[in-house]
Homo-oligomer: A and B are copies of this chain.
């Protein structure tokens, strides 16, 4: 197999959720069976790169200049801030319809192992917003793992600091439809720790 094919596979492999096999399969599909789609995809990428940007305030996706639709929506509750790792997490939160405040997208989480330090994440604007925007409540909607744990700790200690603000982290436990039988021990431990009084 030649170089330009290998090169394309290598780049596809760096996309989230794709491994070696699926990258090869996609590359072959594009180059042998759907060459028109391959051209369209390359063009669509170039156009979207030109149009789509991170919101300068919160890091959400936005097209064109200026703030994103959520930051510029005057009906949102402006003293509640929900911090998420990635934009798809924000989209999932929005889908619940349960949160009316503003967001801040970190675009990752701290990870010494993968070489991701505070300078790599969207922390500088978070710091500015903390100083300027008068939030009353911060909700940390980061995943249930060690790296997210460290990231929450950093945000609370280094960014929020001694400010008078209510901070919470989303609940962990049995997922909707989850059974005790198939739950792993960490999930069950989380569920026990976060038990609530039966009323």
Contact = CB atoms under 8 A, between A and B. Distances in A.
A29 B16 contact: yes
A156 interface: no
B25 A88 contact: yes
A2 B63 contact: yes
Given A5-B48, A32-B54, A32-B107, A26 B17 contact: yes
A32 B59 contact: yes
Given A24-B91, A61-B5, A39 B31 contact: no
Interface in A32-58: 32-35, 37-54
Interface of A is mostly: helix
A75 interface: no
A48 B26 contact: no
A118 interface: no
Contacts of A153: none
Interface of A: 1-5, 7-8, 11-12, 14-18, 21-22, 24-35, 37-54, 59, 61-64, 86-88, 91, 105, 107-108
